[in-house]
Amino acid sequence: MAALADEKKSQQEEARHVTIDVGDGAAIPSKKDAGLFTAWRVAFFGAIATIVYLAVSKPDPYLDIIKFVPDGILVTFEVTVLSILLALVIGLFTGLGRISKNPLINGIASLYVEVIRGIPLLVQLFYIYFALGRIVQMPPLPSAVFAMGICYGAYMGEIFRAGIQSIPMGQTEAARSLGMSNSQSMYHVILPQAFKTILPPVGNEFVALLKDSSLVSILAVADLLRRGREFAAESFTYFETYTIVALVYLIITLFLSKLISIMEERIGAE
């Protein structure tokens, strides 16, 4: 009876320490999850086949739409890449601030995370472009990149914080025993190991940011969604246009999610 009680207590302890990590990015396909892996293949190749079928069977308007939106895809990637680079820089400093023993630095970083994560991205885009535009005028594209970088920087900050804190304290102690300062041990020992840990969640945030980049169309940024809206407004083919736009977003998202899956497998094999 005592053994059963101890086993039950151990299971309860493990249950209390289980964390459910569900992000707002794409579902990452894995061969271990046969259902999700199969669903990824069906969705990815099905979306490609659907676009090809529509373009061949009814070139007017589907083929015309496909010819109209490629420059919007390039702008979407431009916004996404620039925003994620800015978010990584902000996230690194925020993550270091969140683990800082300096109350002022820690407080500022924590306040930034709480405030930014509590305001919807769409509101932040409006605020930076329209409200702050009364003080500092910025073109639509830089405004979009700045707003998305600021927003996702808060999420990246928490990823960096978790990644740094996942490294055992013994690593820091070993670095200090070799005569390194706190900053040197962080730069040469802790961060290189933390980067390996945070790469998968950073990739997930990259996919989530790409999907959220559709919001920048409200700032007159000629991204994929904006170009689709322009074509639909001119031709009144709203159903056909948004069908193509949705399929293109789906293909890009699924493709990136597969790359992240491959990256996770390689990291896990090392």
Two structure tokens written together for 60: 């007017």
Please give the domain boundaries of the chain with CATH numbers for all domains. Answer: 55-269 (1.10.3720.10)
Check: pTM over 0.75? Answer yes or no: yes
- State the pLDDT at residue 4: 42
- State the pLDDT at residue 16: 44
- The more confidently predicted of residues 266 and 65 is 65
Which residue, chain included where needed, has tokens 């013994």? 170
Calpha distance 136→262 (Å, rounded): 43
Calpha distance 18→39 (Å, rounded): 27
- State the pLDDT at residue 269: 62
Task: Kindly report, residue by residue over 218-251, the tens digit of the pLDDT.
Answer: 888 989 999 999 999 999 999 999 999 999 999 9
Average pLDDT in the 77-97 region? Answer: 94
Phi-psi region of 159 (alpha: psi -120 to 50; beta: other; left: phi over 0): alpha
Task: Kindly report, residue by residue over 164-219, the tens digit of the pLDDT.
Answer: 888 887 777 777 777 777 777 877 778 888 887 888 888 889 999 999 999 998 88
Q: For a pLDDT cut of 90, what percent of the chain falls above it?
A: 52
Under the banding of pLDDT at 50, 70 and 90, the label for residue 30 is low
Average pLDDT in the 150-174 region? Answer: 87
What is the radius of gyration, based on Cα positions, of the chain? 23
